[in-house]
Amino acid sequence: MSLRALPPLPLKRCGLAVAILLCGLSSGAVFAHPHGWIDLSVRLVLDDQGRATALHQSWRMDPFYSLVVVEELEASAGESGIEAGLDQLGGEIRDNLRPHGYFTEVELGGEPLATGDVTEYTVMHRDARVEFVFLLPLAEPQPMNGETLRYRVFDPTYYLEVVHEAGDAGPRDAALTVSGGDCQRRILPADPDPERVMEAAMLDRTDEAAPGLGRHFAETGEVTC
C-alpha cells in the first residue's frame, strides 16, 4: 500500500511522508510513476557478538518534496521556527510507515527476517533537503555465520522511488556501511523486466498501482560477514 493511501493529514499539515502523495503534487518526472524520490543510506548494526541487530536508515527527500514540506512548516510555525514541527512530523511518519513494515524487507541466507517497531527516529532539514533518520531493529539478533543479509527498501506502489545515495560512478561507498564488524557489502541495481517498466509508465497520477510493483524497481543491499 502506498503512503498516499493512508488517511490524509489536514492540508496545512501535509508533511514529509504524505505531503506530495496526499496533496497531489508531482516532482515533474518524465513518467507518471514515480512522483518523487528518496536518497537512501543504510548502516547495518552488529552487536559485540557479531550478530545483526538493526538497520539504521537515512531517507533524504528530493529537493522539490523538501521545499513543499518546509514551506508548510514555516507557514504554520511562525516565529517559533520549524523544529517543533519537524519533531511532530517524525512521529507522524513513523506511525504511517509502521503498518507497512517501514517499506523494508530483510532476509538472511534467503530466509525472511521479522523487524520490530521503530522507537528511535528524527527529522532534520539540512542542505535544502528534509531527512528522516530512524533505527529499524530486527525482531531478534541474528548471527551472520558467513551468511548474506539482503534488504530492499521500496514503496510497494512505486509512487516514490527509493535509491541509494549515488555519485557519477554509481552508489556511494557510504550508502551502505556496517558498524561492529568487517564485512563485504555491495548494492545491486534494480533490473525490472520491460513489462513492469511499461506498467509503471502507463500509470496516471490518480491511478493506484498493483500491490508489489515497487519491489521490481528496488535496489538490493547485501552484507556478508
For the chain, strand residue ranges (E) read: 36-46, 51-61, 104-108, 111-112, 120-126, 129-143, 148-153, 160-164, 166-167, 170-171, 176-179, 184-188, 220-224
Phi, psi of 121 (to 5 degrees): -160, 160
Query: What grid cell was written down for 159?
Result: 509512487
* pLDDT computed for residue 79 by the predictor: 64
pTM: 0.81
- Report pLDDT for 112: 97
Return the closest-CA partner of residue 67 out of 30, 41, 36: 36
DSSP tag of 3 = G
Residue numbers of the domain that contains 213: 3-24+31-224
Q: What is the pLDDT of residue 191?
A: 74
Distances (CA, A) of 104 to 46, 72, 182, 211: 18, 28, 24, 15
pLDDT at position 163 is 94
In the block, residue with C-alpha cell 529537493? 63
Q: What is the pLDDT of residues 16-50, one digit of tens each?
A: 334 333 333 333 333 455 678 999 999 999 999 99
pLDDT at 26: 33
Which is it for the CA torsion 31, 100, 103, 112, positive or negative? negative
Which residues in the chain land under pLDDT 50? 1-31
Count of domains observed in the chain? 1
Residue the block writes with cell 514540506: 69
Burial environment of residue 220 by CB neighbours within 10 A (0 to 12, 13 to 18, 19 or more): middle
Between CA 146 and CA 183 the distance in angstroms is 9
Helix ranges (DSSP H) in 122-212: 194-202
